[in-house]
Structure 1
Amino acid sequence: MVGDHRAGLAGGHVAPAFTDVLEVGELLAVEDPLEVGGVAELLDVAAAEVLAGGDGLARAALTGAAAGAASLLLGKTASAATAPVPLRKRAETDTVTAVAAVYNDPFPGSLGGRWLLFRNTEYVTLQVTGYFQIRWEPEYWKGLGEIILPTFTGRSGTLLHVASGGRRFDDIYTHAGAEPGQSMLGRPSVGYQTLPAGTPTLWHNEHYWLNGTVTVACHEGSAKYNLGLIERTWQNVYDDINSAADGRIGLIYDK
């Protein structure tokens, strides 16, 4: 039986009110954009990707409004690299700890992860100085419509979205048995899920670096999805974004 953790892990914590959503600058910037020169640094980091004139800068936690703001800020979006990409190596001083959570244990056949979020309002509060990954599984066969993106709330310290790896949501499957036009978001015989207007495409694996605490929460509507969270190392992240899954190198935001 799948473990279904219905109580907080730390002294009976309950699910928080998910209102303290990260600002777009906090999700995009390599350093805090409120610091002097922060926005300029962000633009410098993005410049090479922007000039490439590509087709999608993934941001797993953006709302539609935040994605629109990011689009205005960057002007263009970035394409994936075609050669190994660098990744800034940040501190990894302890192990990821779930200090409060409502989640499911992994089981045979489940998506990869240590803390699995399957239902609306399931959440995990992570504490670490190091990396973690969110693996996505859109369940278009269970529900179509617009995906309500997960939130990153109750943040203390620094949270950076550092990279995206695996396949993109809109990559077309080419394996035997796949329908023409099938992707992670759906297939013609069933239909498709969509992202909020203005949201760049997401990737199978979204990678983050955290120095502090953050709560990641699932917010399903009609479009169902699963999230798998797991601790990662810098080497894990680097290997994922350079694995060329389906011939595509991942995206990097922290150089």
Structure 2
Amino acid sequence: MDGRQWRSTIAAAQAGDRQALDDLVAGWLPLVYNVVGRALNGHADVDDVVQETMLRAVDNLGSLRDPDSFRSWLMAIAMRQIRDRARRRSPQQLDESAAREATDFAELTVLRLQLEGQRREVAEAVRWLDDEDRQLLSLWWLEVAGELTRRELAAAVGISRQHAAVRVQRMKERLETSRGIVRALDGACPGLRELTGRWDGRPDSVWRKRLARHIRGCAYCGDARDSVVPAERLLVGIALVPLPVGFTLSLALGGKTAAAATSVGWSAKMLGVLTKPAVAVTASATIVAGGAYVVTTPHTPPPRVAVTPTAASTHRQPSPTAPPAPSPSATKERTELYGSVVDAVDKAPDPDTPPAALPHRPASGLTSSAGAHATMNHRGDSVTFSGQGYVLVRWQISPQYRAGSLVMPSWTGLKGKLFHVASGGGRRMDDRTSGTDTTATGMGSAATGFDVLPSGTQQMWQNEYFYLDGSVTLTQNERGADYGLNVFPTTREAIEKDIGTGPDDGVIRYGLVRDTGKDDTPVPQYVTRARPADPATVAQRSRV
């Protein structure tokens, strides 16, 4: 995530552009969450520190003179909030709250990214670092992943680059010691078992030194049968941990539970920020699931968006309380409003159930800026379609090269209408792909690691089909997980042949028709009529 690519967005947000400010918060929240989460090792205060960091960043955005320095500026704010939080709490409070934590950030990293082998070992070794080392590691982790430069790391910590080099080297040495401890604890050394009989299971510096001393003098624990891969190489393959489900909901409520909503919460604070000269608008602010917030004027209600509950039905379910019967014309207008249904997480249909009939839509033909076949393997690759017809997007996911969090492609500059009409290719990408390796799916395996979709993202199939009446640009936004897209115009007949192929013909499952033939056909996620400077900032919940 390069701050320089955000120059125009930052400048627009400083000038009071609501969408730019929305994009800025949504785009940088995951990075802040990972820095704070690792620095505090998943402590209960993570949510509060992240919230305060983002609030202060928005509050002081007008004081940022150079948009190119936004990334290091934001990281410096995060580190200050982390240190302030430590100063505000007594050692007794920290120990008591730490004891109450059921899941630390190291465990979350392992679980959410499904890490194995030495990558899991590195993530778990973080537990053994002191607070100061963990704070530095949270930044160095981003440096080796290409998300931060050494200059920005030093600026965030508030030291010179030379001092940062020394600090990082010492931290790496303690990290390697901690990796050895994780390996040894997974082993079966009788001497180590006897030593840890008095240990309460909570990593700390005292036990790190004791265990390290044992390992150095123990032939069993010190025998590294497998070659140890340098931490730098392993960290490159560990992407950002996705935001947890409900994370932004706690922000909207201004605390951990709905009870906190009675006090001045995040939304109210944001409204106060937005009325300041740096970002002056007259508006109300509401947190949304993508990690950003939507700003709406008091007299303009937000568009109604109905989420499709399952793959088998893209129609909205009736409300629990039956409303007064509307007129037929009003019903038609409401149920067929374009954009009223947006893709959402869905369940896999029965693999042996053939798809419904694909409705007929006019297809006069499409033109493609990339010719007959666009192959998009790198970040920033894009293709623009214009006209009327069907588009095939075929996924090629490559966890064997680089597994981690997958940043979804996005559709920008939409004019007209774009629908998600069908899914095929004989499989969902989370279907099992091996008869011998029970962990292997199209998203990865225990041996390679797994690609992880952003929370709330619909699971893709091998082939995804879309219908366009207008023009739109699709951009590959690869960051973290390695993937490619093959994109080209197709026909209704080709779609029917693909989705009509079932298990009897050697594939895993029949395809799925999502098209209703009307405007309540689902709109894909990550679509916008805008043309943001960074297409990766397009919101998951499309508003078209």
TM range (shorter): 0.5 to 0.7
1:174 CA drift (Å): 3.4
Please state if 1:174 is matched with 2:460. Answer: no
Residue number in structure 2 paired with 1:214: 472
Please state if 1:183 is matched with 2:441. Answer: yes
Larger radius of gyration: 2
| Contact 1:139–1:225 (Cα < 8 Å) also in 2 | yes
Residue number in structure 2 paired with 1:133: 392
The structure whose residues are more often helix, as a share, is 2
Q: How does 1:129-168 map to 2 (within 5 A)?
A: 129-166=388-425, 167-168=427-428
Q: Secondary structure at the match of 1:194?
A: coil
Give the structure-1-normalised TM-score: 0.65
| Contact 1:118–1:227 (Cα < 8 Å) also in 2 | yes
Aligned residues: 189
The 1-side partners of 2:392 and 2:307 are apart by: 15
Q: How does 1:30-109 map to 2 (within 5 A)?
A: 37=332, 40-41=335-336, 70=344, 77=347, 79-80=349-350, 82-94=353-365, 96-99=366-369
The structure whose residues are more often strand, as a share, is 1
Residue number in structure 1 paired with 2:512: 251
The 2-side partners of 1:164 and 1:117 are apart by: 20
Please state if 1:117 is matched with 2:117. Answer: no
1:186 CA drift (Å): 0.7
Query: CA separation of 1:240/1:27 partners in 2, compared to 1, >3 Å: closer, same or farther?
Result: farther
| Contact 1:161–1:209 (Cα < 8 Å) also in 2 | yes
Range 83-92 or range 157-166, more displaced: 83-92
Range 76-85 or range 149-158, more displaced: 76-85
| Contact 2:421–2:515 (Cα < 8 Å) also in 1 | yes
1:85 CA drift (Å): 2.0
The 1-side partners of 2:501 and 2:410 are apart by: 28
Q: Secondary structure at the match of 1:182?
A: coil
Gapped runs of 5+ residues in structure 1? 1-18, 47-65, 106-112
Q: Secondary structure at the match of 1:239?
A: helix
Q: Secondary structure at the match of 1:237?
A: helix
Q: Secondary structure at the match of 1:145?
A: coil
The 1-side partners of 2:478 and 2:361 are apart by: 32
Gapped runs of 5+ residues in structure 2? 1-22, 24-302, 309-313, 316-329, 517-544
- State, as a whole percentage, how many aligned pairs show the same letter: 30
| Contact 1:27–1:159 (Cα < 8 Å) also in 2 | no
Q: Secondary structure at the match of 2:451?
A: strand
| Contact 2:379–2:476 (Cα < 8 Å) also in 1 | yes
RMSD, aligned CA:
3.2
1:86 CA drift (Å): 0.8
Query: CA separation of 1:201/1:86 partners in 2, compared to 1, >3 Å: closer, same or farther?
Result: same
Equivalent position amino acid for 2:502 in 1: A
Equivalent position amino acid for 2:430 in 1: D
Ranked by relative contact order (alpha carbons within 8 Å, sequence separation 6 or more), the top structure is 1
